[in-house]
Structure 1
């Protein structure tokens, strides 16, 4: 399969890969103005629709709060590619909703190596629930990304919650560290203290 079709995404012409699977070079050659979001998972191009405004608003507001609270050694961006697995045949390159990564990385270069990323955040959308809750966390953990946050909105402010996870080195999987509604305080490696009311309120 050259790319996975999503019934909610309108039919469109995408470039074809150079071989049976998508390589990192094929992925990098895609135009930046695609009307959909794409990721590269095990050599397969995964297509999903652009998110709703509320999704983008929460991601933008949360990224701003993280950036304001983060140590000077970290930089924060939204929807930027992270190289999760550099496998030659089945590479994985994903753009999380929010990425916190080392200032060692040149912002003019893409993708960001997973080794330089300390936190990824996914805002769960109705069309991406399974990937955000099950598929992507496994890939991020396997890549050694220390912290993972899952933002649940359920389209209403009272249901807003951020589920935080940290990597367990013994199992190379994430373990839950808390559920946050009004405020989030993280371990010293991140040293974040964020008031969430301004993020969740419309």
Structure 2
């Protein structure tokens, strides 16, 4: 049995803090912080997931108005103990090449493309945490027989919880957080619309 690497040991009894992620050079890529615990992407990523994220980033970037940036795989510092890494997000923060995270008040939309290993976190944990942090829009993208299905949510500010706004198959049209029209079937390379 091998010893746990020293960098994996929390620096304090209550766990890791959000700012600790920037000092963990040894941590694997895509390390998140959930409730003070490090969460690693342990399983290999599927091609469907990778291509879906790329297609969504490209489509949303093309449609985003001036002043809105779309990024992939950048963490959101929700609070001291939570810094999840959505697959992509849209923010109103100005471009800063040295940035390692966004704040909830800068974030307009977070999108999680569900993988088998992230399904529970994407469907329950992150849904609740993003809402409690005040992020106005959340999309969860599921693979249904090779086609994307987008479960869209909008923040109910008084309750700080998400209300479902629709389950989108084949096409998504919305005006929040900006005007977006997506041919969902067209996002999957090799599939006909």
TM-score, normalisation: structure 1? 0.83
SS in 2 for 1:175: strand
Alignment of structure 1 residues 23-38 onto 2, 5 Å: 23-31=17-25, 34=28, 37-38=30-31
C-alpha contact (below 8 Å) 2:137/2:177 kept by paired residues: no
- Structure 2 partner of 1:43: 36
C-alpha contact (below 8 Å) 2:30/2:73 kept by paired residues: no
CA deviations over 1:70-89 (Å, ceiling 9, x no partner) = 1112101111111111x3xx
- Structure 2 partner of 1:93: 83
Using the alignment, how far apart are the partners of 2:55 and 2:46 within structure 1?
15
Q: Tell me by how many angstroms 1:201 deviates.
A: 4.1
Are 2:53 and 1:59 aligned? yes
- Structure 1 partner of 2:166: 178
Using the alignment, how far apart are the partners of 2:176 and 2:19 within structure 1?
37
Using the alignment, how far apart are the partners of 2:95 and 2:164 within structure 1?
28
Using the alignment, how far apart are the partners of 2:177 and 2:163 within structure 1?
16
C-alpha contact (below 8 Å) 1:55/1:125 kept by paired residues: yes
- Structure 2 partner of 1:199: 187
SS in 2 for 1:136: helix
Q: Which runs of 5+ in 1 are unaligned?
A: 1-10
TM-score, normalisation: structure 2? 0.87
- Structure 2 partner of 1:22: 16
Using the alignment, how far apart are the partners of 1:24 and 1:58 within structure 2?
28
CA deviations over 1:120-142 (Å, ceiling 9, x no partner) = 00001111111010000100001
**Pair 67,32 (structure 1): closer, same or farther in 2 beyond 3 Å:** farther
Using the alignment, how far apart are the partners of 2:107 and 2:180 within structure 1?
15
**Pair 19,174 (structure 1): closer, same or farther in 2 beyond 3 Å:** same
Are 2:64 and 1:74 aligned? no
Using the alignment, how far apart are the partners of 2:46 and 2:137 within structure 1?
25
Q: Which runs of 5+ in 2 are unaligned?
A: none
- The alignment's C-alpha RMSD in Å is 2.1
- Structure 2 partner of 1:4: none
SS in 2 for 1:145: coil
Are 2:146 and 1:157 aligned? yes
- Structure 2 partner of 1:102: 92
